[in-house]
Structure formats: structure tokens, C-alpha cells
Amino acid sequence: MNISLRSWVGVFALTLCGASAVNVHAQCTSCGETAVYKLVCQTVYEERQVTAYKQECETVMDQVEVTRQVPVWETQARERRYAVLKPVTETSMREERYTVQRPVYETVMRDASYNVVRNVTETSEREERYVVQRPVTETVMREERYVVQKPVTETVQQTQYRTVMKPVTTYCTQYADQGCYQDQVSCIPGSQGWPRLGWTQPTQIVDPMTGVVTVQRGGLAWTTAYTPARQVVTKVWKPNVVAVQVPQTSYVAEQVAECVPVQVTKMVAEEQIRQVPVQVCKMVQEEQVRKVPVTTCRQVVERVEKQVPVQVCKYVTEERVRQVPVTTCKYVREEHVEPYEVKVCRYECRKETVEVPRVVTKQVPVTYTYRVPKTVVFRVPVDPCEG
């Protein structure tokens, strides 16, 4: 049986376009008779099973003992001493001399002559040429090219990747603290007390601006009391870090490649040409003549004499004396005592047991089935009498 090359080309083209059945004519070499076969394309789905691992998270509550500081508020009564400056006002008279500018008016004559412009109108006629645009319409044929997209189907081998989880054991280094408590001596500095009124001895003071040494007399003054520093022994933790190797098992994702036949349809661009009638409008220029009346205006200048009286103001300087009241303000120092309340906060230690959530992750195997499409082509004989 010998099949011509043209028949196989037609079968391959129809298979690419998605045909399910094609008639093929084959000629036998011994008897010379022509046999007809039908090529049938059928899509078969092949089932495959894959085992994957899914991560599931579970929340576990741990009991932890926590020590926290609880604030306790107390109210204390205190006194605040402050100084007030009281203003005392005194009024006195002061002599002030000032200068005054007194205006003096005079009348003078000013030349206010001006020019008068008079218009003289004349009318004449002028010839004017202008161009007119007249539209002319014509029909022409224009060649238009356009692109048409045609679909072409091909079967290609596509590489698909899937992820497989593999267990890997690693060792990590963890550090544990195996220390102990030791005694440590610390110094608590003294504190500054509230200012109070006390007796001071006479002292010598140097003025920082002039450098002159002056003697300050003794008497009552505000002084500040200080509390001396003290030594306190406390327990201090001395750390001792030791390295420990701990095994850990984790799952590492690995990709596996598979080749799968896939039908791909792509668009092929094809250029076509067509003739399109287009109307074109052209503008034709024509020259025309018209007469336009023109009016000319000529100006004539005339002089008008005029004298205007003007008042001129001059200022004469004079010195005057007046009494001005002056107010002087002095401040007198007064001391006041004001009671007030202060809220003091102290902290108390309390132990409580709380629940701390912790997430535990585990791998669960999951088996699922997926279907892979595969195209099968087989040949079926056709009776020539059935047409």
C-alpha cells in the first residue's frame, strides 16, 4: 500500500487545525486499487497519583509564672513657699520742650497755557484687491493595507514542575546558662532634701563681672540638706553559658520536572490589500477687486494762554514748652505660703500565672489524583460504496 505525499500533508494540516476524522486515499502497489481509510483523533485522559505533605499548625497553651509591678497611689500634704512682687505707683511732673511747624499761606500766579487740537476730516475712495478661496471636490481611489490574525494550532512538549518534600536532619547549637548567684556591694548615693530656712555665717563673695571681693552678712537664708551615701550588699547572677548540639529534622522542597504534550494555538498575521474611494476637497484661489471709501483725519494745533492764582504754604519753626506727668512703678517683695497635695506612686510585686500560646507545626501526607490529557490517532477503514 503506497500513500501519496500530498495526502499526508493534508492529514497533518487538518490534525493541527483540530479535526477529529480525515479521509485518506491509498493505492495498492500490487493490484492498483485505491483504499479509503479514516484517521480518527481521540483525547484520552491518564490518571496519576501524587503524594504531597501539608503543614498543619496547632496552638498549645503553656503555663508561665510572671511577676509584675502593681502601682499603689498615696496622697501627701505639702507646703509651697513663693515670693510675690507687689507694684507701687508714683506720679511726678516733667518739663518737655518740642518744636512746632506753623503753616503760612501766600498767593502767586502760575502760567497754565495749553494747546487745543482740532480734527479736520477728508473723504476719498481707494481700490482694494482680495483673494477668495473656492472649494473643489474630487473622488480618488486609495489603497488600504490591513492585517488579519489567523489561528494555527500546534502540539508542543511542555515541562511541568512539581514539588516533593524530603526530610533532612541538621544539628543546631543552643546555649544554656548554668551560672550562680554572687554577693555584690553597691553604693547608693545620697539624696537632696527640701530647701529650708536656716542661719548662715558671714562669707566673702567675688563679683563675676567686676572681680571685686565683698562680704555678705550672716542671717536667715534658704539652705538644702543632703543625705549621705550608704553601702548595700545585693545578690547578682553570674552567667556561665554552655554550648549544646540539638538535632532537628526539617523537610526540604525539591522540584521534579515532567514533559507533557500540550496543544498551543497561536495567531499568524496575514496582510491584505483593498481599494477605498476617498473624496478630496481642494481650495482654488480667485482674485477680486472692490472700491472702499477711506476717511482721513488731519489734526490742527491752536495755543490758548491762561494765568491761574495758586496758594503756596510755607512752614515756620517755633519752640514750645509743656508739663508731662511721669508715672514710676516700684515692686515690693512679699512671701506667701500655699498648701497643696501630692500623689505619690509606689510599686508592689505580685506573682501571677498566665497562659502563653505556642504554635506547633507538623507535616501530614496527602494523596491526590490528577488527569493528564493524551491524543491518540488511529486508522479506520471506510467502505467506498457508502460514499
The tens digit of pLDDT for each residue in 247-272 reads: 888 888 888 888 888 888 888 888 88
- Tell me, what's the pLDDT at 12? 40
The whole-angstrom distance between residue 293's C-alpha and the CA centroid of its chain comes to 71
Query: How many CA atoms, within 13 angstroms, populate the side-chain half-sphere of residue 370?
Result: 5
- Tell me, what's the pLDDT at 5? 38
Question: What is the C-alpha to C-alpha distance for residues 189 and 226, in angstroms, rounded to an integer?
Answer: 10
User: DSSP alpha helices (H): ranges in the chain?
Assistant: 5-16
**132 is written with which cell numbers?**
477668495
- Tell me, what's the pLDDT at 17? 37
- Kindly report the number of other CB atoms within 10 A of residue 37's CB atom: 18
DSSP strands (E only) in 190-306: 192-200, 203-206, 213-216, 219-226, 230-238, 241-304
**72 is written with which cell numbers?**
499603689
- Tell me, what's the pLDDT at 35? 59
Q: Please calculate the CA angle 20-23-28 and round it to the nearest 5 degrees.
A: 140
**Mean pLDDT for each consecutive 10-residue tract of the chain (387 residues)?**
40 40 49 66 86 85 86 88 88 88 87 85 86 87 86 85 83 82 79 74 79 80 72 82 83 83 86 87 86 86 86 88 89 89 88 87 86 84 66
| CB-based burial, 175-212: b 16+ in 10 Å, e otherwise | eeeeeeeeeeeeeeeeeeeeeeeeeeeeeeeeeeeeee
Question: What is the C-alpha to C-alpha distance for residues 214 and 315, in angstroms, rounded to an integer?
Answer: 60
> Which amino acid makes up residue 81?
R
- Tell me, what's the pLDDT at 9? 37
Question: What is the C-alpha to C-alpha distance for residues 106 and 369, in angstroms, rounded to an integer?
Answer: 121
- Tell me, what's the pLDDT at 20? 43
- Tell me, what's the pLDDT at 381? 80
pTM given for the model: 0.20
- Tell me, what's the pLDDT at 225? 65
CA nearest neighbour of 44 among 265, 338, 375:
375
